[in-house]
Structure 1
Amino acid sequence: MTTLANIVLVVAVMALVIQRQMRAQRLDTQRRFWLLPLILGALALRDPQLIDHEHTAVSAVLLAFSLVTVLAMGSVWGWTVRLWRAEDGSVWAKGTKATLAAWGGMIFIRVGLFEAGSAMHIHQASSSLLLGLAVMLLVRSLVVNWRVRTMELPQQAAAIG
């Protein structure tokens, strides 16, 4: 994919995800939450320009640091989501102001990393944004699903006892 297409895809996915996160929505823990991150990750990893071949080591370190950062931000994002159980037993989720702050922090950090790479004259492919978004979405979904499973444990124990 071209750089412009990657950027448009990242912005579109981010807008969709943020918009959906700020609305109360019923969670389906059985759905394939890993599918979108897998697709985005596959698209990103196909790009031969993911690592700057003129500065391989520094570029790889910058990419790794970026992925560790979005991994942490995805975890923070997953913990900022408000979860509750409805009367019918379904689990609902809604983003909070802290969720928006997590997104703002992630964008701020990504811009900072891009600027650091630019200062070192490292070519940074837009596919690194796709890969970062994939990692962040996957980690966020894993955290939220784990939180939902831990919510269900007390009720299951009460039903057994």
Structure 2
Amino acid sequence: MDSLQIAVFSLVVLALVVYRQMRTRPAAGRGLLVFGLILTGAGVYGGGLLEESPSVLGVAVIAVEAVMAVAFGALRAWTVRVWREADGVAWARGTAWTLAAWAVSFAARLALFAAGGALGLTYRPAAALVFAGLTVAAQAVLVARRGRMLGEAVPAWVPASQPAGRDR
């Protein structure tokens, strides 16, 4: 794929992911995790992630992109509403804060892209797919984890340092 096709594909994917996150869905679903991993794999497989002779700066920018992707995924996971119904199923739905976090994530990615260009790095279209995949996968893992945590029972034992009958 050329750069324009990857850019259009990335925007379409982003729109679909955001749309899906704003709808009520099972919190433990693996769909977004699998999708994120596929996007990451497509970006890595697409090549061009690193220049032919990568510079320290180029590798550093990719590392910063990866850390940013996971951090923004964690931030968005924190903004998603997660609850458990009476039947025991955990559900998740994005909030207005989730949309705001997506906007900040997108702006930060563009800023990093611009900074890389200003430093003389060439644009790597595959990096957009890797960033999208990592951020979606991180968010999916953390939302699913929050959903699972809702179902954890309170321990039946009371620690020795806490007298029986007190709130745990």
Residues 84 and 90 in structure 2, CA contact (< 8 A), matched pair in contact too = yes
CA distance in 2: counterparts of 1:34 and 1:93, whole angstroms: 14
Aligned to 1:66: 65
Q: Residues 26 and 35 (structure 1 numbering): CA distance in 2 closer, same or farther, change over 3 Å?
A: closer
Aligned to 1:131: 130
Runs of 4+ off more than 6 Å: none
Aligned to 1:88: 87
Which moved further from structure 2: 2-11 or 62-71?
Answer: 2-11
Offset from partner CA, 1:38-87 (integer Å, 9 cap, x none): 22112111233211335522111111101101110000111110011223
- SS of the aligned residue for 1:84 comes to strand
- SS of the aligned residue for 1:123 comes to coil
- SS of the aligned residue for 1:153 comes to coil
Q: Which has the higher helix share?
A: 1
CA distance in 2: counterparts of 1:15 and 1:30, whole angstroms: 19
- SS of the aligned residue for 2:23 comes to coil
Query: Cα RMSD over matched residues?
Result: 1.9
Cα drift, residue 89 of structure 1: 2.2
The amino acid across from 1:61 in the alignment is A
CA distance in 2: counterparts of 1:128 and 1:86, whole angstroms: 39
Residues 84 and 92 in structure 1, CA contact (< 8 A), matched pair in contact too = yes
CA distance in 1: counterparts of 2:97 and 2:29, whole angstroms: 26
Aligned to 1:113: 112
Aligned to 2:101: 102
Is 1:17 aligned with 2:20?
no
Q: Residues 34 and 93 (structure 1 numbering): CA distance in 2 closer, same or farther, change over 3 Å?
A: closer
Aligned to 2:8: 8
Residues 76 and 98 in structure 2, CA contact (< 8 A), matched pair in contact too = yes
Aligned length: 156
Output the TM-score relative to the length of structure 1: 0.88
Residues 55 and 122 in structure 1, CA contact (< 8 A), matched pair in contact too = no
Aligned to 2:159: none
Structure 1: which 5+ runs fail to align?
Answer: none
Residues 51 and 124 in structure 1, CA contact (< 8 A), matched pair in contact too = no
Residues 23 and 94 in structure 2, CA contact (< 8 A), matched pair in contact too = yes
Q: Residues 4 and 70 (structure 1 numbering): CA distance in 2 closer, same or farther, change over 3 Å?
A: same
CA distance in 2: counterparts of 1:30 and 1:95, whole angstroms: 14
Of all paired residues, the percent bearing the same amino acid is: 31
